[in-house]
Amino acid sequence: MKRISGSSFMVLPVILASLATLTVAAAADVVTFFPGPVDTGVPAYARIERTPVDGKPLVHHDKDWAVIYFYRDPACVPVAFNLLDFVDAPKAFDCSMTVVGSSTWKNGPSPLEEVAFETVTYGTGKVPVWFVRWDALRAAIADNTLTMSELNDALFRLRGGVLKGTASFLKETLRPYVGPGVSGGVELEYTMTMVEARGLLEDGRTFDFQSFENFQTEKNDIESKTVTIIRFK
């Protein structure tokens, strides 16, 4: 039998201590997967909302086009629901999801925490993506309202057009940061969004887009920045 040297015994506690540290670090975060019994996914239909800074409409866009991608089947969205409100709980849960993903929490989902510190979303291969002329959409949301009825309206199409497509690949990463609220609870201090997608339009062309956004509030000095690139081929 091979003899174990004294130096080996000296190293062993260091290794065990390192493994213990790694185990504690790994156990510190809680990961949930959606859709599932614990994490049902975001109670929203599509990625278009209002900024956490000033409440103005927020949508990914370049100088010509805005892009709206759907977390749930567009046919299931109530025609009169204001998409800028984003959340529609619990009604949205009745609509099938077009995405899957995971959320990472420091302690765990509600009631332990209201907001995950990172959510990564992947398309299932058939994510509906609508491209809307930015000038037409900007005019439509001037009244702080946007409904599916408006997006599907013939006059809206004549004003600029809506290109509908399907993303074969989509990845979205959200990293919000929350702090203590003024009157209790939590308050969003800043948020970062990264998204990339590619797929096929109904007219046979391909598309791809990438977008990066981060928004600050008065509580921090992070520079608000938005960069979106949309391409058709």
**Average pLDDT for the chain:** 82
pLDDT on residue 152: 87
DSSP code for 218: T
| Comparison of pLDDT for 23 and 181, the residue scoring more | 181
Reported confidence tier of residue 46, pLDDT bands at 50, 70, 90: very high
Enclosing H/E stretch for 3: none
Instruction: End-to-end CA distance of the chain: give it in Å, rounded.
Output: 69
- List, for residues 118-136, the tens digit of each pLDDT value: 999 999 999 999 999 999 8
Which tokens belong to 110? 């509600």
pLDDT on residue 189: 64
Domain boundaries, the chain: 30-232
| Exposure b/e, 47-73, CB count within 10 A at least 16 = b | bbbbebeeeebbbbbbeebbbbbbbbe
pLDDT on residue 25: 41
pTM: 0.81
Q: Residue 62 and residue 71: Cα distance in Å, rounded? A: 21
pLDDT on residue 179: 61
pLDDT on residue 111: 85
| Comparison of pLDDT for 136 and 81, the residue scoring more | 81
